[in-house]
Amino acid sequence: MIEKYSNMKALKFFEELTKIPRCSGNEKEVSDWLVAFARERGLDVHQDKALNVIIKKAGTRGKENNPPVILQGHMDMVCVKEEGCEIDFSKDAIPIEVEGDWIVTKGTSLGADNGIAVAMILAILDDDSLEHPPIEALLTTDEEVGLLGATAVNGNLFAGRTLINLDSEEEGVFLTSCAGGVRNVLTLPVRWKSNKKKNAFEITINGLLGGHSGMEIHKGRANANRLMGRLLEEIGAGARIVRLEGGEKMNAIPSKARAVITMNGSPCDVVEKMQRIFSHEYRSSDPDILIECTETDLPEEALSSGTTEKIVALLQIIPDGVQRMSQEVEGLVETSTNLGVVRLGKRDVYFENAHRSSVESRKVLLIKQFEQLAILSGAGIIIQGNYPGWQHSPVSPIRELFMKTYKELTGKDAKLEAIHAGLECGILQEKLGEADMISLGPDMKDVHTPNERLSISSTERTYALLAEVLRRL
């Protein structure tokens, strides 16, 4: 489909990637596909136990002995879909379409984050007409669930000490530092009792924008899990929870939540009242909030009143959103946390949280706060995926080259920014030792949501910039 609109090889590779399952944790097929790509072209390739793939290509004539450059992106994607979408991410292709300048999909996330990086790197490796130094391509796994692939990378496999990360989402904005992060899961034991209430109701919260918990956390968008906590508190102590689920990914702001409760009366009047309150509070950030209340089958069991009260309390008091703004960079979030996923199981209810901070001590403070919250509530806590931030370097030859080349190609000045989202650069800096790094990418919108889209023209310009920088290195 894409080739009807562009002859650009990177976009064709991206279309191929949309046909291969690559949700975080399910990357074996795409990793093997990348290995096959390299072997078909006679390139040196290494696949490690974490399914990371390293592909090396010699420098072109006259540049064989130049210092190598590392091109880096991650192969996994955040897989989220709209209510009612029947896509099975474990086997189905993502149905992409073209709307004007944008590649979009219907009902699911697109995976442009970070599939377009992989696609651009493959296009570079596939094109023998390009002039470039030796290339070491690093394509990692499980970035979206804690940068786990990058953590497993063996830095001794690389000779390069210049790294170009292609996991950014705004053309002409070069990233020079990012926040570190960590994830935790609170596990609260639950107690079930026979149901003695007369009625059961399903309550759903939909229509929220959601978004990336790093890139969009400062926009004040509603968190469906937090709204559900407020709603259940308003319904009152007479209700008992039967089912509870909200959000899809720990690092995505949850856009929907669902609960089944049992009670003697009806909560629908309260639901209508809270619909008006939430619609007013989030009239700018989430104008399409929709809360629905429908009667459902009466269950045999429900959570005890004590367990229900604890869950409702935790939904409201677990820290969420921006915790502190940067003291040095105006408008930059320093520390945040996201209550991304809530799931009720038979034995426990799980509260999955993603923390980010550009100040290590503030990240540690968040962990301690959640540990104390676990003690007070009687919950367990699991800490996972702790990764470092990437600090800005005052001297960077690769940054200067990109700035100069961008200006010459476009006539515009590029911007240098730090971001609150996590990138693999911090981990790879530790793996490689002193390395000169930059992060860039084409225009993308609403990543980690079913509204995710990728600009075709911006991808073409970004690829041209990358190719020209490689020629000049």
Concatenate the DSSP letters of all residues of 193-221 into one string: EE---SEEEEEEEE----EETTTSGGG--
44 has catalytic annotation: no
One-letter-per-residue 3-state SS of 231-297: HHHHHCCCCEEEEEEECCCCCEECCCEEEEEEECCCCHHHHHHHHHHHHHHCCCCCCCCEEEEEECC
SS (H, E, C) 51-96: CCEEEEECCCCCCCCCCCEEEEEECCECCCECCCCCCCCCCCCCCE
Parallel, antiparallel, or unpaired for β 173-178 and 415-419? parallel
For residue 1, the model assigns a pLDDT of 58
Q: Where in the chain is the domain with CATH 3.30.70.360?
A: 185-387
Q: Which pLDDT value is given to residue 6?
A: 58
Helices vs. strands in the chain: H and E counts, helices first: 11, 25
Catalytic position from the list 15, 27, 113, 143: 143
Per-residue pLDDT of the chain (473 residues; tens, 9 = 90+): 565 555 689 999 999 999 999 999 999 999 999 999 999 999 999 999 999 999 999 999 999 999 999 999 999 999 999 888 999 999 999 999 999 999 999 899 999 999 999 999 999 999 999 999 999 999 999 998 889 999 999 999 999 999 999 999 999 999 998 999 999 999 999 999 999 999 999 999 999 999 989 889 999 999 999 999 999 999 999 999 999 999 988 889 999 999 999 999 999 999 999 999 999 999 999 999 999 999 999 999 999 999 999 999 999 999 999 999 988 778 889 999 999 999 999 999 999 999 999 888 999 999 999 999 999 999 999 998 888 989 888 899 999 999 999 999 999 999 999 888 889 999 999 999 889 999 999 999 999 889 999 999 999 999 999 999 999 99
> Which ranges in the chain are annotated with CATH 3.40.630.10?
2-179+389-472
Is 170 designated active site?
A: no
Which CATH code fits 185-387? 3.30.70.360
Q: In the prediction, which pLDDT does 83 show?
A: 83
Return d(Cα 363, Cα 370) in angstroms, integer.
Answer: 11
Single-letter residue type at 257 = A
Q: Give domain 2-179+389-472's CATH number out of 3.30.1490.20, 2.60.40.10, 3.40.630.10, 3.30.499.10.
A: 3.40.630.10
Q: What is the three-class DSSP state of 454?
A: strand
Would you say 53 and 128 are in contact if contact means Cβ atoms under 8 Å apart? no
Which of 15, 16, 27, 76 does the annotation list as catalytic?
76
pLDDT value of residue 2: 60
355: tokens are 């923390």
pTM for the complete prediction?
Answer: 0.78
Nearest-angstrom CA–CA distance, 40 and 44: 10
Looking at residue 212, its pLDDT comes to 87
